[in-house]
Amino acid sequence: MKISKLAFVFLLSLLMVGCWDNTDLVDINIVTGLGIDKDEDGKIVVTVQIVEPAAVHLTSSSQAGSGGSSQTKPVYVMSYKGETIYDALISMKAIVDKRLFLSTNQILILGERFCKDGIDEALDFLHRNYQSEYRADVLVARGTKPEEILKIQPDMDAIPAMYIKGTAENTVIRAKVEQKKLIELFKEIKNEAKQITIGQITKVDDKTVKTEGIAVFRDGKLVGWLDQYQTRGYLFVTDKVDNTVISIQIPNGKIALEIKQSNAKREVKFKNGKPERLSIDIRLEGNIGEYIGKEILSSPDDIYKIEKMLSQAVKKEVTMALEKTQKDYSSDIFGFGELVHKYHPQYWKKAAKQWNDIFSQLPTDVKVDAKIRRSGLIKSPMKKDD
């Protein structure tokens, strides 16, 4: 009796230990970057950046130490064509030896042609697959292919994907590119009241990339780009600016103002049951970060002047962004449609389909209220008094 019971417990423990689908680290290829593009024939080209963990260690230590050349490369980049993303990834086994492990993916680079054909349905795989990393950063490659971006060999970081992710992440300080996580992209794809925007990435040389500006979509299709200043205008409106530096011209010099805080309020003003104008109210606070000029900043009046100029500068960027999206792209990337949907559901039901066109016809009110609080460690400029 007792022995049979013991035997049963023993049997159970044998069965329950370990994982059914256990895979060792040596049996997988760790994917850090994923690129998706289309070729001329409309086939999907998937590019993966695979890391060799042992080689990463080798390179980083050799860089720090003697500087001796190591034979193994830390990353490999492979591309393969297929009908769909999943098809290409699986067929890629023809040139890749181990299972591709996608959960470690850091960045997803989309190609221009792929984006122009529409990304709405095409990204289904990344949404459906349990391995997909929802927190990966998404970027659109401008003027180049995702392959080319993933093939760069930066000096700053052994793994290119980490380097690229780093540049996208530090938008927190500069606010000139939008950092878009895959999950946020999925939310936008489903959201008919706000058009998609994704940060853009360009290749500078074999070692450097640049993440600046955003790609603008309409109905899931890439329609154009915003440059870094327009992007900042867009970020101001959508309340995504944490920190940035704005330089303004003054009669005898320049001032760089550090924005510390920015709050934006969007509103769609209705009249007679129809949207009349878009109003944007931005409040921001900043410090003087750099001042190249002669006049001494001492009186509150001087500060008021600078505050006013700062407001003007921000307003200019915001207006640029609004004009570009309204006139050239006719795409409501700011999410004014969401406001209409939330607060005027009756009107939204009728207008949802043509909202982008309605949006581009609406006049805008931009109000910026800037405050300058501190001047840094010194009060007066670094200049001999006359």
Binds other proteins by CB under 8 A, chosen from 14, 40, 190, 301: 190
Q: Report the residue number, 14 or 204, with the smaller CB distance to other proteins.
A: 14
3 binds other proteins (CB under 8 A): no
Name the minimum Å distance from CB 383 to other proteins.
44
Bridge partner list, 37: 45
Binding-site string for other proteins from residue 19 to residue 58, where x marks contact by CB under 8 A and - marks none: xxx-------------------------------------
Integer Cα distance of 144 and 47 in angstroms: 14
Q: Which long-range contacts (CB under 8 A, 24 or more apart) does 327-332 make?
A: 327/360, 328/224, 329/216, 329/218, 329/223, 329/224, 330/218, 330/356, 330/357, 330/359, 330/360, 331/195, 331/216, 331/217, 331/218, 331/223, 331/356, 332/193, 332/194, 332/195, 332/356, 332/359
Binds other proteins by CB under 8 A, chosen from 96, 183, 223, 292: 183
Integer Cα distance of 277 and 275 in angstroms: 6
Binds other proteins by CB under 8 A, chosen from 2, 3, 13, 15: 15
Name the minimum Å distance from CB 239 to other proteins.
10
Q: Report the residue number, 88 or 182, with the smaller CB distance to other proteins.
A: 182
16 binds other proteins (CB under 8 A): yes
Q: Of the ranges 48-56, 115-123, 255-263, 339-347, which one interacts with other proteins (CB under 8 A)? A: 339-347
Name the minimum Å distance from CB 5 to other proteins.
9
Burial of 43 (0-12, 13-18, 19+ CB in 10 A): middle
Name the minimum Å distance from CB 135 to other proteins.
7
Binds other proteins by CB under 8 A, chosen from 116, 274, 342, 373: 342
Name the minimum Å distance from CB 111 to other proteins.
25
Integer Cα distance of 73 and 149 in angstroms: 17
Binds other proteins by CB under 8 A, chosen from 191, 208, 279, 360: 191
382 binds other proteins (CB under 8 A): no
Q: Of the ranges 11-19, 171-179, 222-230, 246-254, which one interacts with other proteins (CB under 8 A)? A: 11-19
Eight-class DSSP state of 196: -
Q: Of the ranges 67-75, 149-157, 180-188, 362-370, which one interacts with other proteins (CB under 8 A)? A: 180-188
10 binds other proteins (CB under 8 A): no
Bridge partner list, 50: 31, 76
270 binds other proteins (CB under 8 A): no
Integer Cα distance of 61 and 266 in angstroms: 51
Name the minimum Å distance from CB 20 to other proteins.
4
58, amino acid identity: L
All residues at 6 or more sequence positions from 349 whose CB lies less than 8 Å from its CB, including other chains: none
Q: Report the residue number, 134 or 304, with the smaller CB distance to other proteins.
A: 134
343 binds other proteins (CB under 8 A): yes
Q: Of the ranges 12-20, 226-234, 243-251, 295-303, which one interacts with other proteins (CB under 8 A)? A: 12-20
Q: Report the residue number, 127 or 305, with the smaller CB distance to other proteins.
A: 127
353, amino acid identity: K
140, amino acid identity: V
Q: Report the residue number, 21 or 385, with the smaller CB distance to other proteins.
A: 21
Nearest to 332 by CA among 226, 237, 194, 219: 194
Binds other proteins by CB under 8 A, chosen from 145, 176, 232, 341: 341
Integer Cα distance of 90 and 69 in angstroms: 34
- Find the DSSP H helices in the chain: 2-16, 53-64, 85-91, 112-116, 124-128, 146-150, 160-169, 171-174, 182-190, 228-237, 300-323, 336-343, 345-351, 355-361
Q: Compute the Cα dihedral for 203, 259, 108, 117 and give only its sign.
A: negative
| Binding interface with other proteins (CB under 8 A) | 4, 12, 15-16, 19-21, 127, 130, 134-135, 183-184, 186-187, 190-191, 341-343, 345, 348
